[in-house]
Structure 1
Amino acid sequence: MLASILFISVCFLAYANGANDNFKGVASLFGSGTLNYRLALTWATVTTLAGSIAALFLAQTLLVKFSGKGLAPDALIHTLPFMIAVAGSAGLTVILATRYGFPVSTTHALLGAMAGSTLLATSGDISFAPLLNNFVLPLLLSPLVALVLAALVYRVLIMGFKRQRIESDLCLCVENPDSLSLAGNANMSMAIDSATVPVLSVDSQNVCAERQASLILGINLQRLRDGLHFCSAGAVCFARGLNDTPKIAALLLLAPGFDLQWIIILVATAMLLGGVFNARRVAETMSHKITPITHDQGLSANLVTAFLVIFASKFGMPVSTTHVSVGSLFGIGLVSGKANTGVIASIALSWLLTLPCSAICSAVISHYLSSNL
Structure 2
Amino acid sequence: MFLLITIAVVVVAYANGANDNFKGVASLFGSGTTSYRKAVNWAAVTTTAGCVAAMFLAASLLKTFSGKGMVPEALIAQPSFLLAVAAAAGATGLLATRFGFPVSTTHMLTGALLGAAWVDGDVNVAKLWESFIKPLLVSPVLAVALGAVIYLILKTLRLAPDHRTRTLDALHFLSGGAVCFARAVNDTPKMAALLLGVGWLHGSTGMILIAVAMAAGGLISAKQVAETLAHKITDMNPGQGFAANLATALLVTTASVSGLPVSTTHVSVGALLGIGITTRQAKWRTVVPVLAAWVITMPLSALVAAVLFYLCRSIFP
TM-score (norm 2): 0.97
Distance 2:161 2:297 in 1: 44
- Runs of 4+ in structure 1 displaced over 3 angstroms? 164-167
- Per-residue CA distance 1:50-92 (angstroms, 9 max, x = gap): 0000000000000000011111011101111111111100010
Q: Does 1:126 align with 2:127?
A: no
Q: Is the 8 A contact 1:21 1:322 kept in 2?
A: yes
> What's the RMSD between the two structures over aligned residues?
1.4
- Please name the residue that 1:103 is paired with: 102
Decide which of 307, 311, 314 is 2:250's aligned counterpart.
307
What secondary structure, in the 3-state scheme, does the structure 1 residue paired with 2:2 have? helix
| Contact 1:166 1:222 (8 Å CA) reproduced | no
Tell me by how many angstroms 1:165 deviates: 7.5
Q: CA shift at 1:158, angstroms?
A: 1.3
Check conservation: 1:32, 1:294, Cα contact below 8 A: yes
User: Aligned runs of 1:71-110 on 2, under 5 Å?
Assistant: 71-110=70-109
Q: Tell me, what secondary structure is at the counterpart of 1:34?
A: coil
Q: Distance in 2 between matches of 1:148 and 1:346?
A: 21
Within a 5 Å distance, the mapping from 1:214-233 to structure 2 comes to: 222-233=165-176
- List alignment gaps of at least 5 residues for structure 2: none
Partner of 1:235: 178
Give, in whole Å, the separation in 2 of the partners of 1:67 and 1:97: 24
Partner Cα distance (1:80, 1:113) in 2: 14
For residue 292 of structure 1, report the CA deviation from its aligned partner. Answer: 0.6
Structure 1 residues without counterparts, runs of 5 or longer: 168-220
Matched residues in 2 for 1:76 and 1:226: separation?
50
Letter in 2 for 1:244: D
Distance 2:153 2:201 in 1: 48
Whether 1:329 aligns to 2:278 is no
Q: Give the distance between the partners of 1:294 and 1:61, measured in 2 at CA.
A: 37
- Is the 2:47–2:184 contact (alpha carbons within 8 Å) kept by the matching residues of 1? yes
2:297 paired with 1:354: yes
**Deviation, structure 1 residue 280:** 0.2
Following TM superposition, by how much is the alpha carbon of 1:44 offset from its aligned partner in structure 2, in angstroms? Answer: 0.3
**In the alignment, is the contact (CA less than 8 A) between 2:70 and 2:127 conserved in 1?**
yes
Checking the alignment, whether the CA contact within 8 Å between 2:192 and 2:206 is kept in structure 1 is yes
Q: Which stretch shows the higher mean deviation, 111-120 or 257-266?
A: 257-266
Normalized per residue, the structure richer in helix is 2
* Superposition deviation, residue 166 in structure 1: 7.6
Asked if residue 117 in structure 1 is aligned to residue 121 in structure 2, the reply is no
Amino acid at match of 2:137: L
1:41 aligned partner: 40
TM superposition shift of 1:259: 2.6
Residue 223 of structure 1 deviates from its aligned partner by 1.4
Q: What number of residue pairs does the alignment pair up?
A: 316
8 Å Cα contact 2:162/2:239 also seen in 1: no
Q: 1:161 aligns with which of 124, 139, 158?
A: 158
For residue 4 of structure 1, report the CA deviation from its aligned partner: 0.8
Q: Deviations over 1:164-212 (max 9, x none)?
A: 9887xxxxxxxxxxxxxxxxxxxxxxxxxxxxxxxxxxxxxxxxxxxxx
Tell me the amino acid that sits aligned with residue 130 of structure 2: N
Distance in 2 (CA, whole Å) between partners of 1:244 and 1:20 is 12
**3-state SS in 2 of match to 1:369:** helix
Q: TM-score w.r.t. structure 1 length?
A: 0.83
Contact 2:131/2:261, CA 8 A, preserved across alignment? yes
Whole-Å separation in 2 of the counterparts to 1:259 and 1:370: 24
The answer as to whether partners of 2:161 and 2:239 remain within 8 angstroms in 1 is no
